């Protein structure tokens, strides 16, 4: 079984993505996260490029990494100069990393038109720079920049650059599709040629996603003989991003029959954590790790996967740290609902009258505009109510919302007053907020905290509004989805009304009712 090296460039190539900015603390956390997952190399940036990276490398040197090797990144020395005279080259030594990644020109167009030197001088820059780092005891990864474009334009010169790098002691010849425009079949053909020409040197692949083929090209390159793959864990990077390691790694282990480091059971957790550290939201349809990767909606699909999982799933969700989800909608049949009910009422069967009642209620609510695909908490409450297994924890007596303009304190534009009852005891309170929903949410949790202190931990983490009947303009029906968290778990609820405040109130109260019910159920089980 061939073993593939995993080289993560989240902190270098990933940081070049639009909207990405890592603090030093973020970078250190990312290093620890990638090391815990088990990648081979972590490319951590250019130590001479800015003060932030200088500080990072100083602090990173104190980390006790389990398996990953830190790698500093830089270029060949400047034309008509020696490596020992180049400040950027010398800065890589101060980073104190066991490995360095050095990029050099392999496309003759870049050598003459961008670098502004001769083809012979460029070969010298590659040889001298790589030999300099080998003499200083570094593992050297040569990033052959624009290699595929260069090979297609002038294959003889592109191969000469690789030969110069190998002669200087490069440990890895990494072929870069820097523009991201070469298609997988060409990638595979060229990688196969390079592997045959340099059988004693590890060949790597580095793809960008400008043609949407970065993952495919990377896997094809590995099949063609490459032993080292570069990318960013979540696919972030310059322009359209880099090859996505969270897709490539399971592809290596589950599809190609090859080995690589990385605990697949921790794949989704690692991808989620790195996405959050990048201050981004993970797309739900991301392969293997997205929330929708194993989400089934069609009745035939759910029936099939319930009987035989591989009939509609190419891998097991547990194999990559994910989970199967059944989505509720108007196309759901009894089999779909029954699969969804397994955790709430496992004793029900397909012929149980309660199942028909739940299906009918589901279709009625969806006709009104409710949607339970992303609102599992509201669906579970609906089921509990239909089964007469739910008792409300509070009831609303009244609420009143008011807003002002200009804002009295520059921020808090609205106030809410409400009165609730819990077991016959009434509690009335008020709160200010950045808008009416925020004010209402704050007032509700403030009132409920008198009876249920645990509610104080609940926070609204996401709020979405969808207009359902746009032709009615401002009188349209709206759907509100609210995601909440208590710091340990997250759940989503839904509300629908022609009044956006009323829809928000439905979702808010479902959110609180759900977590209170869960706490009670957990306490009963203990």
| CATH, residue 247 | 3.20.20.70
**Residue that finishes a domain, picked among 262, 294, 311:** 262
Q: What does the alpha-carbon distance between residue 390 and residue 381 come to, in Å, rounded to a whole number? A: 8
> What pLDDT, on the 0 to 100 scale, is given for residue 525?
61
> What pLDDT, on the 0 to 100 scale, is given for residue 460?
82
Asked if the model's pLDDT at residue 330 lies above 60, the reply is no
pLDDT tens by residue, 402-448 = 887 776 666 678 899 999 999 999 999 999 888 888 899 999 989 99
Is position 311 within any domain? no
Going by the DSSP 8-state scheme, the letter that residue 215 receives in this structure is H
Is position 365 within any domain? no
> What pLDDT, on the 0 to 100 scale, is given for residue 333?
59
Of residues 117 and 374, more confidently modeled: 117
**Residue that finishes a domain, picked among 262, 290, 312:** 262
Of residues 118 and 1, more confidently modeled: 118
Distances from the Cα of 270 to the Cα of 19, 241, 252, 302, angstroms: 20, 18, 17, 28
* Count of H-run helices and E-run strands, the chain: 17, 17
> What pLDDT, on the 0 to 100 scale, is given for residue 259?
97
Maximum mean pLDDT: which of 92-106, 388-402, 403-417, 473-487:
92-106
Asked if the model's pLDDT at residue 292 lies above 70, the reply is yes
Asked if the model's pLDDT at residue 526 lies above 60, the reply is no
Q: What does the alpha-carbon distance between residue 96 and residue 57 come to, in Å, rounded to a whole number? A: 8
pLDDT tens by residue, 139-186 = 999 999 999 999 999 999 999 999 999 999 999 999 999 999 999 999
pLDDT band at 347 (very low <50, low <70, confident <90, very high): confident
Asked if the model's pLDDT at residue 65 lies above 60, the reply is yes
> What pLDDT, on the 0 to 100 scale, is given for residue 334?
63
Q: Could you tell me how many residues make up the chain? A: 526
pLDDT mean across residues, the chain: 90
pLDDT band at 387 (very low <50, low <70, confident <90, very high): confident
Percent of the chain scored above 70 by pLDDT? 94
- CATH number, position 441: 3.30.160.270
Is position 380 within any domain? no
Measure CA 156 to chain center: 40
Asked if the model's pLDDT at residue 516 lies above 60, the reply is yes
Asked if the model's pLDDT at residue 266 lies above 90, the reply is yes
Asked if the model's pLDDT at residue 307 lies above 70, the reply is yes
Please give the average per-residue pLDDT across 9-37, as a whole number.
94
Cis bond upstream, residue 406 (ω within 30):
yes
User: What residue numbers bound the domain in which 183 lies?
Assistant: 3-262
Asked if the model's pLDDT at residue 495 lies above 60, the reply is yes
Structure tokens at 418: 């409400």
> What pLDDT, on the 0 to 100 scale, is given for residue 305?
83
CB 459 within 8 A of CB 485: yes
pLDDT band at 473 (very low <50, low <70, confident <90, very high): low
Is position 301 within any domain? no
> What pLDDT, on the 0 to 100 scale, is given for residue 409?
61
pLDDT band at 476 (very low <50, low <70, confident <90, very high): confident
pLDDT tens by residue, 32-57 = 999 999 999 999 988 876 778 888 99
Residue 252 burial (CB count, 10 A): 24
pLDDT band at 349 (very low <50, low <70, confident <90, very high): confident
Element (H, E) at 72: strand 69-75
Is position 329 within any domain? no
Name the residue among 155, 74, 162, 177 with its Cα closest to residue 123. Answer: 162
**Residue that finishes a domain, picked among 262, 282, 299:** 262
Please give the average per-residue pLDDT across 296-313, as a whole number.
80
Asked if the model's pLDDT at residue 114 lies above 90, the reply is yes
Q: Which range among 26-35, 370-379, 432-441, 506-515 shows the weakest confidence by mean pLDDT?
A: 370-379
Q: What does the alpha-carbon distance between residue 452 and residue 520 come to, in Å, rounded to a whole number? A: 11
Beta partners for 141? 101, 172
3-state helix, strand, coil in the chain (%, to 5): 45, 20, 35
Is position 141 within any domain? yes
Please report the sign of the dihedral spanned by the C-alpha atoms of residue 509, residue 515, residue 517, residue 519.
negative
> What pLDDT, on the 0 to 100 scale, is given for residue 354?
82
Percent of the chain scored above 90 by pLDDT? 62
> What pLDDT, on the 0 to 100 scale, is given for residue 471?
63
CA atoms within 13 A on the CB side of 145: 17
Name the residue among 378, 304, 292, 377 with its Cα closest to residue 339. Answer: 304
> What pLDDT, on the 0 to 100 scale, is given for residue 286?
95
Is position 521 within any domain? yes
Going by the DSSP 8-state scheme, the letter that residue 76 receives in this structure is P
| Total domain count, the chain | 2
Is position 328 within any domain? no
């Amino acid at each position: 079984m061939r073993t593939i090296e995993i080289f993560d460039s989240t902190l270098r190539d990933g940081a070049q993505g639009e909207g990405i900015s890592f603090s030093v603390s973020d970078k250190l956390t990312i290093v620890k996260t990638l090391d815990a997952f088990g990648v081979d190399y972590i490319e951590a940036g250019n130590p001479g490029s800015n003060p932030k990276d200088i500080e990072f490398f100083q602090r990173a040197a104190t980390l006790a990494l389990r398996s990953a090797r830190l790698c500093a990144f830089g270029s060949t020395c400047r034309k008509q100069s020696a490596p020992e005279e180049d400040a950027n080259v010398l800065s890589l030594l101060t980073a104190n990393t066991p490995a360095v990644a050095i990029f050099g020109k392999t496309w003759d167009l870049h050598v003459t038109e961008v670098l502004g030197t001769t083809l012979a001088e460029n070969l010298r820059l590659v040889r001298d720079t790589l030999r300099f780092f080998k003499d200083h005891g570094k593992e050297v990864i040569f990033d052959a920049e624009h290699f595929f474009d260069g090979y297609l334009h002038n294959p003889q010169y592109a191969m000469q650059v690789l030969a110069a790098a190998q002669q200087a002691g490069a440990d890895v010849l990494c072929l870069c599709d820097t523009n991201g425009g070469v298609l997988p079949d060409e990638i595979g053909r060229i990688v196969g040629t390079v592997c045959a020409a340099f059988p004693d040197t590890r060949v790597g692949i580095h793809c960008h996603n400008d043609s949407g083929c970065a993952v495919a090209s990377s896997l094809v390159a590995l099949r063609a003989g490459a032993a080292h793959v570069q990318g960013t864990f979540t696919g972030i990077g310059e322009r359209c991003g880099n090859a996505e390691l969270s897709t490539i790694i399971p592809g290596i282990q589950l599809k190609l029959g090859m080995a690589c480091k990385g605990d697949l059971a921790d794949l989704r957790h690692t991808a989620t954590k790195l996405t959050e550290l990048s201050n981004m939201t993970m797309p739900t349809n991301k392969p293997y790790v997205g929330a929708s990767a194993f989400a089934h909606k069609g009745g035939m699909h759910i029936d099939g996967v319930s009987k035989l999982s591989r009939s509609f799933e190419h891998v097991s969700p547990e194999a990559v740290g994910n989970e199967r989800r059944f989505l509720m909608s108007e196309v759901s049949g009894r089999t779909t609902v029954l699969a969804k009910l397994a955790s709430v009422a496992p004793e029900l069967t397909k012929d149980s009258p309660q199942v028909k009642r739940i299906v009918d209620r589901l279709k009625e609510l969806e006709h009104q505009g409710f949607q339970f695909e992303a609102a599992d908490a509201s669906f579970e409450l609906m089921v509990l109510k239909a089964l007469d297994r739910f008792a409300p924890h509070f009831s609303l007596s009244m609420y009143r919302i008011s807003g002002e303009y200009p804002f009295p304190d520059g921020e808090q534009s609205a106030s809410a007053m409400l009165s609730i009852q819990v077991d016959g005891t009434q509690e009335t309170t008020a709160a200010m907020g950045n808008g009416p929903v925020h004010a209402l949410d704050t007032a509700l949790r403030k009132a409920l905290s008198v009876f249920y202190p645990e509610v104080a931990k609940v926070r609204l983490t996401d709020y979405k509004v969808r207009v359902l009947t746009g032709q009615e303009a401002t009188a349209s029906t709206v759907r509100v989805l609210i995601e909440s968290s208590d710091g340990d778990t997250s759940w989503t609820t839904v509300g629908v009304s022609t009044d956006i405040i009323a829809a928000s109130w439905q979702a808010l109260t479902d959110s609180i009712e759900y977590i209170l019910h869960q706490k009670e159920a957990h306490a009963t089980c203990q």
